[in-house]
Structure 1
Amino acid sequence: MELEVRHLRVLCAIADTGSLHKAARRLGLAQPSLSTQLRRIERALGAQLFLRDRTGCRPTPLGLAVLSRARPLVAEFAAIVTETRAAAARAAGGFHLRIGATASRAIPGWLRLLRTRVPRIEPTLQMNVSANALLAMVAAGRLDMAFVHEVEGCPLRIPAGLCLRVLVAREPQFVTLAADHPAAARTEVSLADLAGDRWMVDATVDGEWDALCRVLRAAGLDSEMLHGDYLTAYSLAATGEVVTVSQPTAHPRPDLAIRPLQGDPIGVRLLLAARTESELDGAYPELEQAYWAVAHEAPVYRRWLERARPPGTPALPGAGGQAHALPVPRRHHGMPEARRPQVNGGP
């Protein structure tokens, strides 16, 4: 067996994730197939590269030596492929911008603006619940950029060499509950108001399960936690079976109530990642406009921003691109330092 770049990618993915299961998910392979590939690579090199136990996989000393040579080769090959494809697309009169993203209502508007404003660019989209997987794909040259969210307290694994642009330094996460839930009558809901409710979150979204567990424990609650995708969670929330975390830009529905949580205990950072600053410059303005357009259309989020904004900051752009009388910070649009998250009034 002769080693190829794809085999080096396998080694890097296992080392980065520390798990055959997670590496297989990142690479789009079945775990048995990945395990077979790793055994073949180790046989070809004549040495064990990873130690496997119940806690995962970690490189042996020889594995670390191989990885130190493999990583720059994988990165260089990805750069060759990306640059060659881009040059070929430009010569043919067009360019496919490969975008990855976690869920956001800003995405349709972003793609529309890119098509309108950037001649000959055709954006393509790959969705994934895992921000870490998307960032790895950008670093490997399989995507040109990724729009992801980082859950507070659960830092993402940012691959070396990526450039980041912060769209929102701290976006509060709201709660979605049935429209006839007693707490829906309030403009702001405390965690204590939801003490008797079950929560449903998608545990495959990087950091969300851990963040909610941490917040509930800090509030002294031992709420039942259910795993489910957010489409299911919203359906069950509408019938009063569960409550769930939601993005503040979520579209209003007559059978659901979207409310801020008192003290804003759960927050995320919204990031755009690419391999170069010039790539970020070419797509960030459209993303920024698309995001604040959907924020403008979300009445509960607009009211939260009005309360959270510091005095004298620029106006929020509306859906048509015109400034409206809702000031927010221009670059990061994050929550001001004076309004850090609290749980039930605590520090």
Structure 2
Amino acid sequence: MELEVRHLRVLCAIADAGSLHKAARRLGMSQPSLTTQLRRIENALGGELFLRERTGCRPTPLGRAVLSRARPLIAGMSALVTETRAAVARADDPRLRIGSTASRALAGWLRRLRQRLPDGTDLSLHMNVSAGTLLRMVAAGHLDVAFVHEVEGCPLLVPEGLERRVLVEREPQFISMARDHPAAAAPVVDLADLAEDRWMVDPTVDGEWDGLRRVLTAAGIDPQVLHADYHTATSLIVVGEAVAPCQPTSGRRDDMAIRPLRDDPLAVRLLLYRRPGPGTETFALVYAELLAAYREVALRSAPYRHWLLRNKSPLLQTPAA
């Protein structure tokens, strides 16, 4: 007799139920049939797996050893069946589930994907300030791709096995401040000019506070810090209550100044992740359209465009048709 997955399920059912009678009911079979099957399994393995007692049955040391190996195998088989069925469903009804941290490139990216993906593709977007959360969702199969940023000096905890493509190796983080802030008169701001300001940071963004604290400490600055989301930050920044890091693609506002920092001490890396497997061509398309959408918003922002020119960024190169 060769052991099969169904035999391992029988052993686990007996162990979980604690008696042959209860296990037989859960498995939808008679107790004599289950007893006979258990005896055959024990004969095949060459030892007793359960001690039969008046109050039920419990695993022997050999039984516990077999169960410790059986449970992961059953879980793996269940996961295989679930993932295979999901793959079949995606083939019949194509979809692309995108996860992303905040980016001004998102609108253009989604527009481009709707134009390029097959008709009828179900395109969805899940936003989260936590890159780590999005990556775990990709690893668990709840998202197909995730566009995230990694704060310089604060590596993300990436689940094992994910495939990565780098969109931008080093994106500088600019500073947003009130339009009448003294430092806003210069095209480039020194950190020292912001030493007396309150700094706003969102503590739920992975690595944000640690990265900022590292840079400020290196500059000898120990500022007052306000912890809040960036929607709240905007209302405080425009009235001069705080300054905050911001993406260089941030749009122009009449009540706010956005300036690069001298020597670009704050930066992030922009990354696109997926689980390995089929769909390599789709992933390449998703990446290409994201890069094109990002390039659009980067060149639309005058401060960032000037920064790209100064640094001879490859983003300035016209992509091949």
- Where 2:221 maps in the other structure, the secondary structure is coil
What is residue 268 of structure 1 aligned with on the other side?
268
- CA deviation vs aligned residue, 1:191-216 (integer Å, no higher than 9, x gap): 10111100001011000001111111
1:101 is aligned to 2:100: yes
- Where 1:155 maps in the other structure, the secondary structure is coil
What is residue 221 of structure 1 aligned with on the other side?
221
Residue 73 to residue 217, structure 1, CA distance change in 2 (3 Å): farther
What is residue 35 of structure 1 aligned with on the other side?
none
What is residue 152 of structure 1 aligned with on the other side?
152
Provide the rounded CA distance (Å) in 2 between the counterparts of 1:123 and 1:80.
24
Give, as a single letter, the amino acid of the residue that structure 2 aligns with 1:95: P
Residue 168 to residue 74, structure 1, CA distance change in 2 (3 Å): farther
What is residue 244 of structure 1 aligned with on the other side?
244
- Cα deviation for residue 76 of structure 1 reads 7.0
- Where 2:283 maps in the other structure, the secondary structure is helix
Percent identity over the alignment is 54
Provide the rounded CA distance (Å) in 2 between the counterparts of 1:179 and 1:89.
49
Q: Which of 277, 283, 286 is the matching residue for 2:286? A: 283
Residue 77 to residue 107, structure 1, CA distance change in 2 (3 Å): farther
Alignment of 1:124-163 (within 5 A): 124-163=124-163
- Cα deviation for residue 122 of structure 1 reads 2.5
- Where 1:272 maps in the other structure, the secondary structure is strand
Q: Which of 290, 308, 313 is the matching residue for 2:311? A: 308
Is contact 2:172-2:264 (8 Å) kept?
yes
Provide the rounded CA distance (Å) in 1 between the counterparts of 2:76 and 2:127.
23
Residue 258 to residue 298, structure 1, CA distance change in 2 (3 Å): same
Provide the rounded CA distance (Å) in 2 between the counterparts of 1:181 and 1:111.
36
Alignment of 1:26-41 (within 5 A): none
What is residue 113 of structure 1 aligned with on the other side?
112
1:297 is aligned to 2:296: no
- Cα deviation for residue 234 of structure 1 reads 1.4
Is contact 2:308-2:316 (8 Å) kept?
no
Is contact 2:174-2:245 (8 Å) kept?
yes
Provide the rounded CA distance (Å) in 1 between the counterparts of 2:106 and 2:95.
16
What is residue 203 of structure 2 aligned with on the other side?
203
> Normalization by structure 1: what TM-score?
0.67
- Cα deviation for residue 322 of structure 1 reads 9.1
What is residue 123 of structure 2 aligned with on the other side?
123
Residue 259 to residue 86, structure 1, CA distance change in 2 (3 Å): same
Is contact 2:233-2:242 (8 Å) kept?
yes
Provide the rounded CA distance (Å) in 2 between the counterparts of 1:180 and 1:81.
58
Is contact 1:177-1:237 (8 Å) kept?
yes
What is residue 172 of structure 1 aligned with on the other side?
172
Give, as a single letter, the amino acid of the residue that structure 2 aligns with 1:232: T
Is contact 2:295-2:315 (8 Å) kept?
no
Residue-pair matches, total = 254
Q: Could you say what the CA RMSD is over the residues aligned between the two structures, in angstroms?
A: 2.8
- Where 2:241 maps in the other structure, the secondary structure is coil
- Where 2:160 maps in the other structure, the secondary structure is coil
What is residue 194 of structure 2 aligned with on the other side?
194
Is contact 1:75-1:140 (8 Å) kept?
no
Stretches of structure 2 lacking an aligned partner (at least 5 in a row): 1-11, 17-67
- CA deviation vs aligned residue, 1:216-257 (integer Å, no higher than 9, x gap): 111011111110101111111011000001000011111011
> Normalization by structure 2: what TM-score?
0.73
- Cα deviation for residue 158 of structure 1 reads 1.2
Stretches of structure 1 lacking an aligned partner (at least 5 in a row): 5-65, 324-347
- Where 1:129 maps in the other structure, the secondary structure is coil
Give, as a single letter, the amino acid of the residue that structure 2 aligns with 1:236: L
Is contact 2:97-2:143 (8 Å) kept?
yes
- Cα deviation for residue 177 of structure 1 reads 0.2
Provide the rounded CA distance (Å) in 2 between the counterparts of 1:75 and 1:146.
25
- CA deviation vs aligned residue, 1:272-298 (integer Å, no higher than 9, x gap): 000127152131111111111110111
Provide the rounded CA distance (Å) in 2 between the counterparts of 1:160 and 1:273.
12
Give, as a single letter, the amino acid of the residue that structure 1 aligns with 2:290: L
Give, as a single letter, the amino acid of the residue that structure 2 aligns with 1:164: R
Residue 125 to residue 186, structure 1, CA distance change in 2 (3 Å): same
Provide the rounded CA distance (Å) in 1 between the counterparts of 2:76 and 2:260.
42
Task: Say which one has the larger Rg.
Answer: 2
Provide the rounded CA distance (Å) in 1 between the counterparts of 2:84 and 2:122.
17
